[in-house]
Structure 1
């Protein structure tokens, strides 16, 4: 077995209900997914929303108890494990905290983690292994077999998740492929997952209309990824054909009651009676600027915005 992968069989995990605790194994799987998706470019791993969300998703699949994921625990305790070249996981502490970090004790929240460090160094050999797709698959299989052997259902669900994550990651690394038409039904789920991931991250999980941003304690998002030109018509899952919207505004746009225009402003259908108080939440949106991603690569396509405005109910 590859030495980097062998180190994954020796994680120091506790026990939960008579089986290995899922925290550290799920964090390792999350790291493998993020590296394969191209969102981690070096062995210095940012502790960001993407990684923590991925971990919570995997923990929920493995245990069915997302609210107990407590991501701060594996992010802290993984540093006690050995990798092929030394420490498997080494937090990069903020200035002046390195010498006193151990005095803080166990963190009790993600806020505690962020006050201590926002990145950690993954063992370089393990990072290189996770970059190689066949080795990454093997590493995931080692982790799943070693720590989830007590539950065949969890093993299968995790393998299914990893398969989709790796396929979606290929699109995330090559978003231009999301503009191509779909030729195989097996592509749809991976494309959809990549579209959602890229759009929500581009908008920093903030609604492009209301500007609301909320991430729950177990890392679920208020916003959804909405197509500008419907996929059934465009076959286009590129993030420039999408916006992040709250569910109610996603519904309103899909029903052509509101539309973002090429002028980067929101427009409200004249069929909505502004004198009805229940309609105020929509009418007040008229003329408001469209919130745009910071990265201009992901700004909505002008043609897609024109399509939306052209299809506004008149």
Structure 2
């Protein structure tokens, strides 16, 4: 690629427009977000120039913030994601029919407002290409570190493990439902509303990632398994007892289902009894098809390796009584 293009992005990265707080200096949020994006591109968790708001990106932002930022600035993912639009390489794409709610100072109102109204952000395709190439990615990453975190960047590459992500995944896999709910209550009492919304989003994202992994990325009813080199997931993590009612993102409240069976389960057209046998609602009428629901009547579902990960019998009973259509 033309050396002039690389030079242009080096200039943009070194001249980021940043807010200034009295007594704190210039905000570190934008360089931390760019470093987070570079990291996820390197890990192949971002695979094109559309930057979606994901649990992985928020966690990477948090992790890099902890490593590099030692001022009293408030850690806030929504701010740089929104305000990066003032840079010549970043474009916010709103969801159809949605509008961002801004404060009087023209800032984003909240993380919730951001994720409800923004579909994704786009970076220039030539920038994305540069960030996929190890040599130019390293040049741009080093420029950010040297320019904005000159006293901290030397040990930045030493530890690539995201400890917070590992801790939350451990809680999702190994904490019982009561303890998990108590953990969320404690977090709600210690975090502000913005931080708590972000925390719930992150935990929900890791639930969606963890449950399919435990079921070997296979639908527990149909056995469907599709993998892709583009990090596309075709098996859903389905809550048995909706999170909005249960506040439970632990593995026993989840089951891996293909999208059509996930929808059928949520709408009560199928359920699973306490012997892990599929039942199909007698209310349905369908044509003969390889996609029919009736073919799964009486089928034993595939279960995870550990019995502690089996779907909660208590939650399945709730689904049988409250959701399943007889």
Instruction: Give the TM-score of the pair, scaled to structure 2.
Output: 0.50
Shift of 1:210: 1.4
The 2-side partners of 1:194 and 1:103 are apart by 31
Correspondence for 2:85: 79
Q: Deviations over 1:107-152 (max 9, x none)?
A: 1320121232041111212211222223222221110111223xx1
The 1-side partners of 2:164 and 2:146 are apart by 27
Shift of 1:289: 8.6
Correspondence for 1:272: none
Matched, 1:119 2:120: yes
Correspondence for 1:156: 154
The 1-side partners of 2:113 and 2:169 are apart by 25
Q: Deviations over 1:155-187 (max 9, x none)?
A: 234x23xx533xxxxxxxxxxxxxxxxxxxxxx
The 2-side partners of 1:53 and 1:127 are apart by 21
Shift of 1:290: 3.1
Matched, 1:15 2:20: yes
Correspondence for 2:247: none
User: What are the within-5 Å matches in structure 2 for residues 71-110 of structure 1?
Assistant: 71-82=77-88, 88-97=89-98, 105-110=106-111
- Secondary structure at the aligned position of 2:252 is classed as coil
Correspondence for 1:36: 42
Correspondence for 1:196: 166
Correspondence for 1:231: none
The 2-side partners of 1:90 and 1:112 are apart by 17
The 1-side partners of 2:73 and 2:173 are apart by 23
RMSD of aligned C-alpha atoms?
Answer: 4.4
- Secondary structure at the aligned position of 1:164 is classed as coil
Shift of 1:42: 1.0
Q: 2:52 aligns with which of 46, 54, 60?
A: 46
Question: Does structure 2 conserve the Cα–Cα contact (< 8 Å) formed by 1:72 and 1:110?
Answer: yes
The 2-side partners of 1:60 and 1:118 are apart by 27
- Secondary structure at the aligned position of 1:34 is classed as helix
Question: Does structure 1 conserve the Cα–Cα contact (< 8 Å) formed by 2:102 and 2:109?
Answer: no
Correspondence for 1:312: none
Shift of 1:295: 7.1
Number of positions where the alignment pairs a residue of Structure 1 with one of Structure 2: 206
Q: Structure 1: 5+ residue runs without aligned partners?
A: 83-87, 166-189, 226-238, 243-287, 309-314
Q: Deviations over 1:208-240 (max 9, x none)?
A: 6418474761766789x9xxxxxxxxxxxxx65
- Secondary structure at the aligned position of 2:91 is classed as strand
Instruction: Give the TM-score of the pair, scaled to structure 1.
Output: 0.52
Q: 1:294 aligns with which of 246, 256, 259?
A: 256
The 1-side partners of 2:81 and 2:24 are apart by 23
Q: Structure 2: 5+ residue runs without aligned partners?
A: 207-212, 217-249, 259-301, 310-326
- Secondary structure at the aligned position of 2:64 is classed as helix
Question: Does structure 2 conserve the Cα–Cα contact (< 8 Å) formed by 1:12 and 1:81?
Answer: yes
The 1-side partners of 2:146 and 2:80 are apart by 19
Q: Deviations over 1:226-255 (max 9, x none)?
A: xxxxxxxxxxxxx6599xxxxxxxxxxxxx
Question: Does structure 1 conserve the Cα–Cα contact (< 8 Å) formed by 2:27 and 2:73?
Answer: no
